[in-house]
Chain A
Amino acid sequence: EVQLVESGGGLVQPGGSLRLSCIASGFNFNTYDMHWVRQVPGKGLEWVSGVTSAGDTFYSNSVKGRFTVSRDNGRNSFHLQMNSLRDEDTAVYFCARETVTMSGWFDPWGQGTLVTVSS
């Protein structure tokens, strides 16, 4: 079964840091581009960051310079290091696999991990 499982969410103060992880199983992880998408509770989906199978990274303007995405193909995992966190970063963070490179087609998604930035 193709599956993604996120971890690492929690409560953090503004200006703090958090590292999210996504563990993949059931497919050849190192051949797929992977992404992070977030959702403020009650609001819509927002793409955050992506990392290609080759390790190239991309970020939304709202997180560029603060977040860093990386992958570890040997451990079938990828990560989102979030620094200088702001209140507006509070959201559920989903990881997702891009089914065809450069398509924007995401399947499957993880169950999500909640990040709360608050003092």
Chain B
Amino acid sequence: SSELTQDPAVSVALGQTVRITCQGDGLSKYFGSWYQQKPGQAPVLVIYGRNNRPSGIPDRFSGSGSNPGNTASLTITGVQAEDEAEYYCNSRDSTGDHVVFGGGTKLTVL
């Protein structure tokens, strides 16, 4: 399969910790990445590789993945109100020629 599967929605109380997961065959061969997208804005890379954050991304964002395995996770520790957004995972597919995205997880901060 060339798809990545995410839970459609997750909610978390302000200040708590949330984990968002992504599953798919491509993740058994490639480390994926995670994107935050707020309404009307372009996606922003928040985690890439095993657990790397681009400059400017708060350290409350972290990533993990099972390797070998086909699951990746994004964890937000001490969730802030501004973290409410849609989160997408992606990776190369199992052939390496294409890129696939998960369907997205809408994070609601209570």
Contact = CB atoms under 8 A, between A and B. Distances in A.
B95 to A, nearest CB: 10
B100 to A, nearest CB: 7
Contacts of A109: 42-44
A17 B42 CA distance: 24
A102 B31 CA distance: 10
A60 interface: yes
The size class of the interface chain B forms with chain A is 20 to 34
A27 interface: no
Given A44-B103, A45-B101, A47-B99, A106 B45 contact: yes
A111 B37 CA distance: 12
Interface in B11-41: 26, 30-33, 35, 37
Interface residues of A, number: 22
B91 interface: yes
Contacts, number: 67
Contacts of B98: 47, 58, 60
B48 interface: yes
A105 B32 CA distance: 7
B33 to A, nearest CB: 4
Contacts of A99: 45, 48
B31 to A, nearest CB: 7
A103 interface: yes
A94 B48 contact: no
List the 3 closest A-B pairs by CB distance, nearest first: A107-B45, A47-B99, A105-B48
20 contacts: A44-B88, A44-B104, A45-B35, A45-B90, A47-B99, A47-B100, A94-B42, A102-B92, A102-B96, A103-B30, A103-B49, A104-B33, A104-B90, A104-B92, A105-B49, A106-B33, A106-B90, A107-B45, A108-B45, A111-B42
